[in-house]
Amino acid sequence: MFKQEVVVKNKIGLHARPAAKVVAEGNKFKSDMRIKKDHKEVNMKSLLGVLSIGAMCGDIVTIQAEGEDEVAAVEAVTKLIETLE
């Protein structure tokens, strides 16, 4: 398993369009992926799951993946979250 923390920089957080972009990016990879905020951890390939964590601007989320492409998956999603506007 590989994981990395990232700060949500999007001014509206991970809602609607930004969350959909994160889910789409995660779905490009074969690894099982999870996103965690505080004590809530959900499937990162589920739009409702990502929306349910309520990540706002300035929140720290943890992206984790387990599988054959786990490092690439986490790095791609982390980079996306850092650059979402």
* Catalytic residue status for 15: yes
Q: How far is CA 61 from CA 12, 15, 20, 39, 68, in A?
A: 15, 14, 16, 10, 22
2, 3, 9, 15: the catalytic one is 15
Distance CA 48, CA 65 (A): 18
Provide the terminal-to-terminal Cα distance of the chain, rounded to the nearest Å. Answer: 29
Query: Which residues are catalytic, by number?
Result: 15
